Amino acid sequence: MDHKELMTEAVRLATESVENGWGGPFGAVITRDGEIVARGQNRVLLTGDPTAHAEIETIRKAVQVINPEAPSIAEEHQNESHLKYVPRPEGSPDPVAERARMLQGCSIYISGAPCPMCMSAIYWSRIGAVYFSRSLEDTRAIGFDDSFQYEDFGKPLEERRIEIKQIHPEIGARAYDAWTNKPDRHAY
């Protein structure tokens, strides 16, 4: 499938979400080698979940397709990982020798430019390319103001819209130490 066909599918999903009253006009597809791995659509109105964005839903579905062996919470699978790993590229400053492949090699097509939450999820998933149809300005014009969040991230903590400050770093260190001291930890 080419760019236009893939974007058309993302927009079909977005329109379906609107028509069914599930959420805003946002749909997404994740592809690998030009084929669709997963589809998703905004379902904030359907679920009441503010994180039910098309990109998040699509990433979660794609992960299930690409990593179907993920361990359950069953006792015998604890401390296991079924993530596929790839070595750090030559010359990389990454202190970790290998990282989980996640959705490396995949692309995402979205009806509108991603909000910061979804863009961050795209970074975490290691998706290599993002294609969007409508811009952040277009999204703001129809009443979804994602762009202020991008602006807020650029400000010092004390100037942000939401109170955010560091408290009791020594308490959090217990969990960080548990990670650092775990000999069989899987960096990802």
At a CB cut-off of 8 Å and minimum separation 6, what does 174 contact?
none
- Which residues within the stretch 145-164 sit at the binding site for Zn ion (CB under 5 A)? none
Total residues interacting with Zn ion, rule: CB under 5 A: 4
Binders of Zn ion among 40-79, rule CB under 5 A? 53
Residue 133's closest CA among 1, 2, 8, 20? 8
Distance CA 30, CA 38 (A): 5
Burial grade of 147 (CB within 10 A; 0-12, 13-18, 19 or more): middle
Q: How far is the CB of 41 from Zn ion (least distance, A)?
A: 12
Choose the stretch contacting Zn ion; rule: CB under 5 A; options: 39-47, 75-83, 109-117, 172-180: 109-117
Nearer to Zn ion, 150 or 188 (CB): 150
Residue 103: count of CB within 10 angstroms of its CB = 25
AA letter at 90: E
CB of 76 to Zn ion, least distance (A): 36
Q: Look at the block and give the residue holding tokens 């004390």.
A: 158
Shortest separation between residue 120's beta carbon and Zn ion, angstroms? 9
Task: Find the binder of Zn ion among 115, 122, 127, 136 (CB under 5 A).
Answer: 115
Task: Specify the stretch interacting with Zn ion by CB under 5 A; choose among 30-38, 65-73, 115-123, 172-180.
Answer: 115-123
If one asks whether residue 118 binds Zn ion (CB under 5 A), the answer comes out as yes
**Quick check: 108 binds Zn ion (CB under 5 A)?**
no
Binding window for Zn ion (CB under 5 A); candidates: 59-67, 88-96, 102-110, 117-125? 117-125
Give, in order, the Cα–Cα distances in Å from 6 to each of 32, 95, 121, 182: 11, 36, 20, 43
Distance CA 94, CA 126 (A): 15
Just list the catalytic residues: 55
> Which residues form the interface with Zn ion (CB under 5 A)?
53, 115, 117-118
